[in-house]
Structures are given as C-alpha cells and as structure tokens.
C-alpha cells in the first residue's frame, strides 16, 4: 500500500476494517482539542453553577469519557480498544468560550486518535445540550488532533 492510499479501502475501493494483527503492541497516546463558543453570560452561568440542568463541566467531562469508550460503536471502521486512560478537561478561554482537551491512552496495535476526538466532540455536544435553553447560538469548532505518540509513525504534533 502506498503512503497516500486510504487504509480503510481495499484494492477495489470497498470499505474495510484495517487488519492490525501483525502490528506490535505499543504505548499509544493522543491529545485532541475543541471549543464551544457562547455568549459571555452563558459562560458566566456555567461558572456560577446556574444552569438548570446541573453541573455542565462535570457532566461534559463524564460524557467525553463515555464517548471515548464508545468510539468503535460510533465510527464504523474503528477498532474497539481497551483504553488505559482518558482525561477530559474543560476550561474557560476568554469570556465567551470553553476550551476542551482530551487525552486518550492505550497499549495496543492501533492509535487512540479517534477516541480523543470523540471525547472532545461528545463533551462539546453535552455543553450545547445542557445550555441550549439559554443560548441556542452556541458554536462548536476547532476540533482537531493536537498530538499522537506510539506506533510505527512515532511522535506527531500539530503545527
């Protein structure tokens, strides 16, 4: 397979799950981030614990962890992975957005990039769900991989 060929397609262009059975188990880490933009009053409400549905930060953190654990159920070609660690941190960034960072870890034959990205996405959707009654104009963006470690490709960081 060439370096630029899509690994989830066979020689006929049909979707397939990549066979990783010949790969060695290595420690794998991936870090992803994203943002939820909102009205400054919405962020203040979150920080004061005044959202009627409850503690937005704690609930979004748990949702992100749960999302990471269910990634292979949501993304068809992902391998189910035994995660050895997942953290999801949500911090105010300025007065009108939350910054979400997720770190996923495993020891295995394939990386945890999708798990980290799913954790960020699920946490961001949970923030939106919990706050939509007060701010329907919230915007989720900037979801991206920041860093990955392990495997044949080694260490990679975003520019």
Whether residue 81 is contained in a domain is answered as yes
What's the domain range around 67? 26-157
DSSP the chain: --TTS-TTB-TTS-B-----TTSPPEEEEEEEEEEEE--HHHHHHHHHT--TT--HHHHHHHHHHHHHHTHHHHSTTPPP---SEEEEEEEE-TTSEEEEEEEEEEEESS--HHHHHHHHHHHHHHHHHHHTTT-TT-EEEEEEEEEEE-STT--EE--
Q: Is the pLDDT of residue 1 over 50?
A: no
**Percent of residues, the chain, with pLDDT higher than 90:** 78
The total of structural domains in the chain comes to: 1
The CATH number given to whatever domain includes residue 58 is 3.30.70.640
Whether residue 133 is contained in a domain is answered as yes
Whether residue 30 is contained in a domain is answered as yes
Q: Which residue has the higher pLDDT, 106 or 17?
A: 106
Q: Is the pLDDT of residue 5 over 70?
A: no
Whether residue 142 is contained in a domain is answered as yes
Q: pTM of the full predicted structure? A: 0.91
Catalogue the active-site residues. 129
- What pairing do the DSSP bridges indicate for beta strands 97-108 and 85-92? antiparallel
Whether residue 21 is contained in a domain is answered as no
Whether residue 52 is contained in a domain is answered as yes
Task: Please list the residues that pair with 29 across neighbouring strands.
Answer: 105, 149
Whether residue 14 is contained in a domain is answered as no
For the chain, the first-to-last Cα distance in angstroms comes to 27
Whether residue 16 is contained in a domain is answered as no
What does the pLDDT read at residue 55? 97
Residues 88, 77: Cα–Cα separation, whole Å: 24
Each residue of 124-156: pLDDT tens digit? Answer: 999 999 999 999 999 999 999 999 999 888 899
Q: Is the pLDDT of residue 49 over 70?
A: yes
Each residue of 58-107: pLDDT tens digit? Answer: 999 999 999 999 999 999 889 999 999 999 999 999 999 999 999 999 99
Look at 11-15, 29-33, 94-98, 118-122 and tell me which has the smallest mean pLDDT: 11-15
- Note whether 120 and 142 are within 8 A (CB): no
């Amino acid at each position: 397979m060439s370096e630029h060929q899509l690994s989830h397609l066979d020689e006929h262009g049909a979707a397939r799950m990549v066979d990783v059975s010949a790969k060695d188990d290595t420690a794998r880490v991936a870090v992803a981030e994203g943002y939820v933009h909102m009205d400054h009053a919405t962020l203040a409400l979150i920080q004061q614990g005044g959202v009627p549905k409850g503690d937005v930060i704690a609930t979004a953190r748990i949702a992100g962890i749960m999302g990471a654990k269910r990634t292979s159920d949501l993304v068809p070609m992902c391998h189910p992975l035994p995660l050895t660690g997942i953290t999801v941190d949500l911090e105010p960034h300025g007065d009108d957005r939350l910054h979400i960072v997720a770190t996923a870890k495993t020891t295995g034959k394939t990386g945890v990039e999708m798990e980290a990205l799913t954790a960020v996405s699920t946490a961001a959707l949970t923030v939106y769900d919990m706050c939509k009654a007060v701010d329907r104009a919230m915007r989720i963006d900037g979801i991206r991989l920041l860093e990955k470690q392990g495997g044949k490709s080694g260490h990679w960081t975003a520019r």
